[in-house]
A and B are shown apart, each in its own frame.
Chain A
Amino acid sequence: MTRSAPHPPCALAELGVVTALGVSIEETWPRLVAGDQSRFVERDDLSPGVVRRFGAVVADLPSVPASLRHLACRNNELALAAYQQIAGGVDAARRRFGDHRVGVVVGTSTSGIASAERAFRERARTGRLSADFDLAQMEHGGLPEFLARLAGARGPHYAIATACSAGAKALVSARALLELDLCDAVIAGGVDSLCQLTAQGFGALQSIARGITNPMSRNRDGLTLGEGAALFLVTRDGDGIQLLGAGESSDAHHMSAPDPAGGGAESCMRAALADAGLAPEAIAYLNLHGTGTPQNDAVESNAVARVFGRGVACSSTKPLVGHALGASGAIEAAFCWMLLARREGESMQIPPHRWDGHTDPELASLELAKPGAQVLASTPAAVMSTSFGFGGSNCTLILGDARS
C-alpha cells in the first residue's frame, strides 16, 4: 500500500499550536501531561437549547490583517495564532530557498463555515446575506490561500479535506512535495473551528457526549467537539523531530460509520510501520483517535490489539481538548512532537488517558496511560498517532527523534 523504499529525512522543524489547552507549546505542555480537563466550557449557542461542553479556545485571537479582509473568519484567526509561532522559521526558509519553493498543505473540515452560518441567519431575518460575508471564508481552499498570502509562500498551496483524517494527511502530502522536489519547505497541519453545523450534525447522529468524552469506557456516549490549529514547518533537515512513516487507507464501508471489521484502521497502522521500517515493538506511545463514540472505540481498540500483540502505552487526548475534526490529526501529531521534544534520555512523559475507568468487556484490552505515566523509548524514539474520518478515510503517522 505504501512504497517500501526508505525515505530521505523529513523534519517537523517548527511547530505552532493552539487548542483549549493553550496558545503556545509552553502553555500546552504542562496541561497536556497533567491531563488537565478543566479547559472545557459549557455553551448552549451551538445547538440552541442544548448545553454541552466544548474544547473552545477562549484566549483572544489575533485579527486577520485588513489586506486579507475577505478571508477574515475565526478559522483563519486560529490559523494565524498558530502561524505566528512559526513565522520566524518560515521567513528564514523563504530567504534560504525563495518564495516559490515554500508550499502550504493544510487540513480542515469546517473552514470558516461559522461565518456562512451567521450570513444565512442574517438572510433569514433580512433577505440578504451579511455584507462582510465572502465565499472564501467557507471554502476549504480559503485556509491555504490565507496562510500562503500571510507567509508570502508562493509554492503549491491547497487544502486536504478528508474530514477527521485531513490534518494528518496534510503532513503526508507535505513529505511528498519535498520528495518530488516541488518544494524545499512546506507549512503543513490542520485548522478547525467550532460551529453549529458540526455541533448539530453530530447531535443529529447522536454522537455528542452529555459530559466530557469518555473514550474506551463501557459508559462512553459520544464525542466532545473542540477546535484549534497545529502548523508545522516541514523540511528536509536531518536533525530534530522527524516524520518517520505514514500509512493511509480507505474503509470502503460507510460514509459516517467505521467498518466494524476494522480492516482500514488496521491496514493504515501496518502501512505506517512498514513505511517507517519499524516493528510494532519500536512504538513507545500511541495517540489514539479515541473519539469516545461507541463504534469508533470498538473498532479502534480491536485494531490496535491486532497490530500491537504485545501491547503499547496509549491514550486519547480528546478528553483534554475535544475532537477538532479536520485539525485533530495535526494537533495530535503536535502533542506527539512535544513529548518527543521534551523527553529526557530514554524516559518520556506521555499524556494520561482521562476516563471513568470502567472497562468495556466488549473491547480489546489496551494499556491506557495513567496520570504521571512515563515510557522508555528506544532509539529512534518513535510514537504513533491514528486518525479515522467520515468517508472511511484513515491515516496513521509515526513521529520520531533519532537523538539518543
Chain B
Amino acid sequence: MMRVSVERWAAWASGVEGDAGWRAWARSPRAPMPADPPDVSFLPALQRRRCDALARSMLYVAHECCPDESVASIPTVFASRHGPIATTVTLLRDLAEQRPISPTRFSHSVHNTPAGLFSIWSANRQPSASVSARRESFVQGYVEALCMLHRSSTGRVLFVTGDEPIPDELAALNDEGAGGYAVALLLSGNDGDEIRLDRRPDERGEPPARGWPDALEFVRWWLSDEPTLAIRRGGIRWTWARGAAPFPS
C-alpha cells in the first residue's frame, strides 16, 4: 500500500500541552478527560463564535499542523464519527418540543462544518472530503486521506480527525470513550519520515478497549520507537510500519 511521509502532526486533548506534554503522555497514555475546547484566538471573532467544541478542536490542530504559507493550498480530509453532535442534539430537542430552529444552527449542523469553517478561515479552495465510519472513523478517514493525496496534484494532504463529547441525552448509547480530542497529520508524497499501511483480515476479534481513541493511539505510536502499530477493528487488522520496518505476518 501507498507510502507517505508524516511531515508534521498536532494533537489536542485536555491536560496535555505542547510537544513535551505529548511525549510525556505517550510514555504513560491515558484517556482524555472532558475539557473546555482549546483557544482558537487565531480566528477572527465572528468566525470564532460560529465554532462549536468540535470545530474549535479540529481547527486548533489544523492550524498547529499547517505551515502558514501553505494553509490555503493543501487539500483536506476531516474525519469524525459523530460530527457536530452537540449542535445536532440541540436541534433534535427543539424539533421534539416544537420550537422553531435556528437557521445558523441548522447550517452548522452538517458533518462538514469543521471542514467548511477551516476553508473559510484559511481561504482554502482546494478539494476537501469529510468522512464518518463509526468506530473506524480514524482508519477509514486515513484511507480517504490516501485517496485525496492520490487524486490531488499538490503532493500533500491535511488529515484532521476528532470528536467532541457526546451530549448527555445520548451518553447511555455511546460505545466509545468520552470524546474531546483532535489530531492533525500533514501527509505528503515527498521523502521524509515514511509510513506504510497494511490491511488484512484478522478474525481474532477486537482487543479490549484501551480508553483513548485510535487517533491518539497513532500519536502514541508515532512518538514511541515501536516499528509498527496494529489496530484491530471489525475483523480487519490495520498495521502501520515506519521506514522499511517489515509488517508482522
Name A's B-contacting residues (CB within 8 A): 1-4, 48, 100, 109, 113, 116-117, 120-121, 123-124, 129, 133-136, 138-142, 144-145, 154, 156-163, 169, 172-173, 175-177, 179-180, 182, 196-197, 200-202, 204-206, 246, 248-256, 263-264, 267, 389-393
Contacts and interface: CB of A to CB of B under 8 A. Distances in A.
B41 interface: no
A248 B127 contact: yes
A175 B146 CA distance: 12
Nearest to A156: B143
Contacts of B137: 141, 158
Given A113-B88, A204-B103, 20 more contacts: A100-B199, A121-B96, A123-B96, A139-B132, A141-B137, A158-B132, A158-B143, A160-B130, A161-B110, A162-B115, A197-B91, A197-B106, A201-B101, A204-B101, A204-B102, A205-B107, A251-B125, A252-B122, A267-B125, A393-B112
A116 B99 CA distance: 16
Contact of A250 (B102, B127, B136, B200): B127
Interface string B90-125: 011101111011110011111111011101101111
The 10 closest A-B pairs by CB, nearest first: A391-B116, A161-B111, A201-B106, A248-B127, A176-B147, A256-B107, A140-B132, A158-B140, A141-B134, A158-B133
B236 interface: yes
Given A3-B151, A264-B125, A392 B143 contact: no
B82 interface: yes
B127 to A, nearest CB: 3
A46 to B, nearest CB: 10
A1 B132 contact: no
A1 B125 CA distance: 9
B27 interface: no
B103 to A, nearest CB: 4
Nearest to B100: A204
A177 B119 contact: no
Interface stretch (B7-15, B167-175, B204-212): B167-175
A140 B103 CA distance: 21
Contacts of B133: 141, 144-145, 157-159
A117 B95 contact: yes
Nearest to A255: B107
A201 B146 contact: no
B141 interface: yes
B215 to A, nearest CB: 15
Contacts of A391: 110, 112-113, 115-117, 119
B119 A392 contact: yes
B129 interface: yes
Contacts of A390: 107, 110, 112, 116
B97 A124 contact: yes
Contacts of B147: 173, 176-177, 180, 182
Given A154-B201, A390-B107, A139 B129 contact: no
A74 to B, nearest CB: 16
A252 B108 CA distance: 15
B117 A255 contact: yes
Contacts of B117: 255, 391
Given A140-B111, A255-B108, A263-B125, A159 B96 contact: no
